[in-house]
Chain A
């Protein structure tokens, strides 16, 4: 073994305690470093699995391939497996209640394809014969068309056609054309061209998996595809799963395209999945990697600042050794390599432990946080799993080594320049000038001579002093920054997190008329567990206001274009919420308004919600009153029909002004808005509903229940057993739960990060104080020899540490508060926040800092005062 290595190894063994604390510091840093890419890899893995779940387990698909060419794909080097399906055609489903799903899409699929697209049998059996089909469960739940297993149906199968016009030839639409084909004006132009009439026996009900994406026009009906009975000229769709997902496979897929003699439109990549493999560039991935990099840089900066100190101390401690080495002819490089080897040896022990600890730590964290991820990624999300990525491990090792190297670099340069004469003469102390160690008389008066000596000791070695202060300040600043961030994050989020009177909203999302909608929703309102509910019909209106009734701030705001229309004489679009008489009375009571008689034959008595508009001014949102409408005023409104056509006018009399909306919310809106509330029966009496009712307004039910998740499930169950068409259900509690979970997750990670950084800092403080005491044994012995008592010595050391802690706290708290203010400026935009000091965090910082410094010093000073004076004085070699 090289003598320098041997020397370094022995030195590390000799100073076990210091080596141990340094290793702990490095272990924590490495653990943090490895946690970042591991977490990243795990999240990407989650995203991949989630995408597979939502979009199917395939990488590339070829449509309309000749069955005789299937071998080409199957035998291709990139192909792992293939799934076959065969489009048959569409059939209109006249009875469908769904807005968008108005057809049935018939297809054949082999078992592999069912797996690939997560199609699963719910009831009955899979079709086997030519005239058998399995039928999507959503045809009942969304379409409201209920057929049972064993039913026979007759359907007309055909194609969706876009007829030829002057410019384009006729086009046949495929399953990929999700929505009804419309032209530039929004008019649906596709037509159905029947091909054949079929009789089918329904053998089973299937869960359509990913094949019936929400906006798709067709419900799924499936026949069984037997790959062995395909004719060579049959056309099939092939979904391919690759063996290895990389650019090679990507290129290969395009090569295969030419071999199959099909054109580019017939190949489709699973973009949403492949972007998570880095094959396709993706903004989300770039953001993810960006955040990861920023975090890593933060960790590295924090770690370097803290680990650097360990090596800086080592150089000071070993400088006599380097002097001796130098005097017997060690070169600069050899002295330097001693410190670099120290870093390397420490890395050798600390990096593997750090990797293991970091992976285990993030694994445990993920396991504990797992339940919180529910509802964050999606309603039925995949579990978050720990992923061991060799790439992440290698990256971490390299980053850890670089961190160590960077930390040791400057100290090693200092080690290289230690001259023998310095160590022989101990000239470092000779170089100081009296003014370097000047202390004010006040210190002596206030704290005594020992304190003054302590302060002088600090000043004697300015470089080390500033290194330690820097390390401590970094810990403090990071802690405060994260705390402030969390505090403001909480505050900002609180604006949304208000307890709602009606957290569950339901709307009928299908083609049934208002009367039917009201009936369905009333039934839902009677479901078990509902504690309170309110049925609201919203009708859009046009109201002509006088220019002076519009706040000049809005009238004059020409810049945001949406305000421009408020300057002229065009009518303004408003909405009126119509409640049942009972709900309306409840609403009046909540707003402390006395009953309003509903017998006016001229005008509908309405309540105006006094909602404010948030207007951007001077980089901040200011709430202003958008319109000046007084109580007692009567407004003339035109009832909205589709496409700007308005119905007969109706008179609305502002009978009262309320602060809260019927759902208990206080209105804030970014665009000027006026909300009116009235009684449904009165409105309908004075403004008879139009014939085509669904075009004027929509009905929704707001509910509350003790257990809103259960209520949501009950509503879904109701939907499956009653032909209501689609229901849109929104559980704001679940949404808020997800929000809260995100906050908890963020807090765990940010505080975890800070606590670890602080631990590195504590290890560092411990090292520094212990070393500085150990190094000055002789000096202490001398002080005791000239009559300083043990108590006095302890006092001196304690004051020394106290001054360290005090100085670090002063700087750290100042810088930390500065950063806190910057964060406040950043986040306060748009939210009305008050600047706030993170008092609790500041208190924690002070306590932890003082406790660490205090406890360390206590043990160090006990050690120092126990040493024998004679031994310590004699000990010349250190």
Chain B
């Protein structure tokens, strides 16, 4: 079942006199439950792609369908609510809110939605990500790896259609990196969670089912490495 379809995405920036294309006619689709790694060198456009899929950046042209919804046809507030429910975002710098506890940071999307937190589901996610004994801590009391686990939990809590991770290990030491990639992989398998991860690290990419390589805003390679 197709969960994401990207059609002819183009994103250009105006820089002085010259126009720079961050993305140049990119099209692909992702099946439900797939773990996709997007790789490419710095400036190749991979992060831009991820932001557009997550609906936090807008393309110059092209369309993104998540669960058959054309997300850029949504009004701004509907897009926010769609993102809240259907998209989970993980960043290199965690992007946690420093004044909220671990538990509050994790459940933030649910709280914004005014939904009651499903304790079983929360417990399950927190156990999976091994955060049970850190619930009352504030982000600055945690290590980098722990903070990133909070950020992953936050992305998973709503059981979104798709989780987007932008260099999730970019800021971590090698031990934490291994741990995080393993957790992402685990959540992919355990929750059948569709996952798209941007990285410039080929070795991490090899943990995914499929690798899409982007060079100069174009897909240069798209191969399934594991079924």
B110 to chain A, nearest CB (A): 9
Q: Which residues of A contact B82 (CB under 8 A)?
A: 329
- B11-36 contact mask (Cβ, 8 Å, vs A): 1 or 0: 00000000000000000000000000
Q: Which of A4, A327, A334 contacts B83 (CB 8 A)?
A: A327
Q: Is B2 an interface residue (CB 8 A)?
A: no
* Cα of A10 to Cα of B93 in the assembled complex, Å: 22
Given contacts A14-B99, A424-B91, A877-B139, contact A330 B56 (CB under 8 A): no
Is the Cβ of A7 less than 8 Å from the Cβ of B99?
yes
Q: Is A749 an interface residue (CB 8 A)?
A: no
Is the Cβ of A332 less than 8 Å from the Cβ of B77?
yes
Q: Which of A327, A421, A877 contacts B98 (CB 8 A)?
A: A877
Of all chain A residues, which has the CB nearest B171? Answer: A876
Q: Is B127 an interface residue (CB 8 A)?
A: no
Of all chain B residues, which has the CB nearest A9? Answer: B99
Q: Which residues of B contact A3 (CB under 8 A)?
A: 104, 108, 111-112
Of all chain B residues, which has the CB nearest A11? Answer: B99
* Cα of A653 to Cα of B112 in the assembled complex, Å: 101
Is the Cβ of B112 less than 8 Å from the Cβ of A325?
yes
Q: Is A25 an interface residue (CB 8 A)?
A: no
Q: Is B76 an interface residue (CB 8 A)?
A: yes
Q: Is A790 an interface residue (CB 8 A)?
A: no
Which residues of B in the span 86-133 have a Cβ within 8 Å of any Cβ on A?
87, 89, 91, 93-100, 104, 108-109, 111-114
Q: Which residues of B contact A323 (CB under 8 A)?
A: 95
* Cα of A822 to Cα of B108 in the assembled complex, Å: 57
Of all chain B residues, which has the CB nearest A335? Answer: B80
Q: Which of B54, B113, B140 contacts A877 (CB 8 A)?
A: B140
* Cα of A323 to Cα of B104 in the assembled complex, Å: 17
* Cα of A792 to Cα of B139 in the assembled complex, Å: 33
* Cα of A836 to Cα of B14 in the assembled complex, Å: 55
Is the Cβ of A328 less than 8 Å from the Cβ of B109?
yes
Given contacts A329-B81, A877-B140, contact A424 B109 (CB under 8 A): no
Give the interface size bracket for B toward A.
Answer: 20 to 34
Q: Which residues of B contact A326 (CB under 8 A)?
A: 56, 80
Q: Is B210 an interface residue (CB 8 A)?
A: no
- A413-426 contact mask (Cβ, 8 Å, vs B): 1 or 0: 00000011101100
Given contacts A6-B104, A7-B97, A876-B93, contact A327 B112 (CB under 8 A): no
* Cα of A423 to Cα of B108 in the assembled complex, Å: 18
Q: Which residues of A contact B154 (CB under 8 A)?
A: 328
Is the Cβ of B96 less than 8 Å from the Cβ of A324?
yes
Q: Which residues of B contact A324 (CB under 8 A)?
A: 95-97
Q: Is A668 an interface residue (CB 8 A)?
A: no
B101 to chain A, nearest CB (A): 10
Q: Is A868 an interface residue (CB 8 A)?
A: no
Of all chain A residues, which has the CB nearest B93? Answer: A876
B170 to chain A, nearest CB (A): 12
Is the Cβ of A329 less than 8 Å from the Cβ of B80?
yes
B185 to chain A, nearest CB (A): 23
Q: Which residues of B contact A423 (CB under 8 A)?
A: 95
B161 to chain A, nearest CB (A): 13
Give the interface size bracket for A toward B.
Answer: 20 to 34
Which residues of A in the span 848-878 have a Cβ within 8 Å of any Cβ on B?
876-878
Q: Is B57 an interface residue (CB 8 A)?
A: yes
Of all chain B residues, which has the CB nearest A419? Answer: B56
Q: Which residues of B contact A14 (CB under 8 A)?
A: 98-99
Q: Which of A11, A331, A421 contacts B56 (CB 8 A)?
A: A421
B16 to chain A, nearest CB (A): 9
Q: Is A321 an interface residue (CB 8 A)?
A: yes
Given contacts A327-B54, A327-B56, contact A332 B80 (CB under 8 A): yes
Given contacts A11-B99, A424-B91, contact A329 B76 (CB under 8 A): no
Q: Which residues of B contact A424 (CB under 8 A)?
A: 51, 56, 91, 95
* Cα of A328 to Cα of B108 in the assembled complex, Å: 8
Is the Cβ of A329 less than 8 Å from the Cβ of B83?
yes
Q: Is B192 an interface residue (CB 8 A)?
A: no
Given contacts A324-B95, A324-B96, contact A329 B109 (CB under 8 A): yes
Q: Which residues of A contact B57 (CB under 8 A)?
A: 419, 421
- A8-27 contact mask (Cβ, 8 Å, vs B): 1 or 0: 00110110000000000000
Which residues of A in the span 318-367 have a Cβ within 8 Å of any Cβ on B?
321, 323-334
B149 to chain A, nearest CB (A): 16
Given contacts A334-B112, A420-B56, contact A329 B85 (CB under 8 A): yes
B116 to chain A, nearest CB (A): 13
Q: Which of B76, B77, B85, B95 contacts A327 (CB 8 A)?
A: B95
Q: Is B134 an interface residue (CB 8 A)?
A: no
Q: Is B84 an interface residue (CB 8 A)?
A: yes
Q: Which of B84, B95, B98 contacts A329 (CB 8 A)?
A: B84
* Cα of A326 to Cα of B56 in the assembled complex, Å: 8
Q: Which residues of B contact A327 (CB under 8 A)?
A: 54, 56, 83, 89, 91, 95
Counting chain B CB atoms within 10 Å of each CB, the highest count among A7, A331, A423 belongs to A331
Q: Which of B51, B84, B85, B93 contacts A421 (CB 8 A)?
A: B51
Is the Cβ of B84 less than 8 Å from the Cβ of A328?
yes
A28 to chain B, nearest CB (A): 28
- B54-73 contact mask (Cβ, 8 Å, vs A): 1 or 0: 10110000000000000000
Q: Which A residues are within 8 Å of any B CB, using their own CB?
A: 2-4, 6-7, 10-11, 13-14, 321, 323-334, 419-421, 423-424, 876-878
Q: Which B residues are within 8 Å of any A CB, using their own CB?
A: 51, 54, 56-57, 76-77, 80-85, 87, 89, 91, 93-100, 104, 108-109, 111-114, 139-140, 154, 171
The 3 residue pairs across chains A and B that have the minimum distance between CB atoms = A329-B84, A3-B111, A10-B99
Given contacts A6-B100, A323-B95, A325-B112, 12 further A-B contacts (CB under 8 A): A3-B108, A7-B97, A327-B91, A327-B95, A329-B84, A329-B85, A329-B87, A330-B80, A330-B84, A333-B77, A421-B56, A421-B57
13 contacts between A and B (CB under 8 A): A3-B104, A3-B111, A7-B100, A14-B98, A327-B54, A327-B91, A328-B109, A329-B82, A329-B113, A331-B77, A333-B77, A419-B56, A421-B51
